[in-house]
Amino acid sequence: MLAMYGRTWAVFLGGILLLQVLQLAVGLDNGLALKPPMGWMSWERFRCLTDCQLYPDECISEKLFSRHADLLVSEGYAAAGYEYVIIDDCWLEKNRDNDTQKLVPDKKRFPSGLNALSDHIHEKGLKFGLYQDYGTNTCAGYPGVIKHMQLDAQTFADWDVDYVKLDGCYANISDMATGYPEFGRLLNETGRPMVYSCSWPAYQEDAGEMPDYESLKKHCNLWRNWDDIDDSLESLMQIMDYFAKNQDRIQPHGGPGHWNDPDMLLLGNYGLSYDQSRLQMAIWAIMAAPLIMSNDLAAVRPEIKDILQNRAVIAVDQDELGIQGRRVLSRNQIEVWQRPITPVAKSGHHSYAVAFVSRRDDGAPYRIPFTVKELGLTNPKGYRVQDLYNARNKLGVFQSESQFITRVNPNGVTFYKFTAL
List of domains in the chain: 38-322 (3.20.20.70), 327-420 (2.60.40.1180)
CA 122 to chain centre: 20
Return the number of other C-beta atoms located less than 10 Å from residue 242's C-beta: 16
416 beta partners: 354, 387
Q: Please name the residues in contact with 72: beta carbons below 8 A apart, sequence gap of 6 or more.
A: 39, 40, 78, 82, 83, 85, 124, 126, 297
pLDDT at 25 over 60: no
How many Å apart are CA 293 and CA 308, to the nearest integer?
9
The pTM assigned to this predicted structure is 0.93
pLDDT digits (tens, 9 = 90+) for 108-158: 999 999 999 999 999 999 999 999 999 999 999 999 999 999 999 999 999
pLDDT bucket at 29, cuts 50 / 70 / 90: confident
CA 18 to chain centre: 32
How many Å apart are CA 129 and CA 85, to the nearest integer?
6
Q: In what order do the strands lie in the sheet with 259-261?
A: 259-261, 222-224, 195-198, 163-167, 127-133, 84-87, 38-41, 291-293
CA-closest candidate to residue 253, choices 278, 218, 284, 285 = 218
End-to-end CA separation in angstroms for the chain? 56
Ordered alpha helix ranges (H), 81-210: 114-123, 149-158, 173-189, 200-206
pLDDT digits (tens, 9 = 90+) for 74-93: 999 999 999 999 999 999 99
Q: Check residue 391 and give its pLDDT.
A: 84
How many Å apart are CA 77 and CA 297, to the nearest integer?
9
CA 219 to chain centre: 16
- Residue 390: C-alpha distances to residues 4, 81, 82, 248, 278 (Å): 66, 20, 22, 32, 12
CA-closest candidate to residue 201, choices 161, 253, 152 = 253
Catalytic residues: 167, 228
pLDDT digits (tens, 9 = 90+) for 241-262: 999 999 999 999 999 999 999 9
330 beta partners: 335
pLDDT bucket at 50, cuts 50 / 70 / 90: very high
- Of residues 9 and 143, the one with the higher pLDDT is 143
Return the number of other C-beta atoms located less than 10 Å from residue 107's C-beta: 9
CA-closest candidate to residue 199, choices 236, 241, 247, 165 = 165
CA max distance for the chain: 84
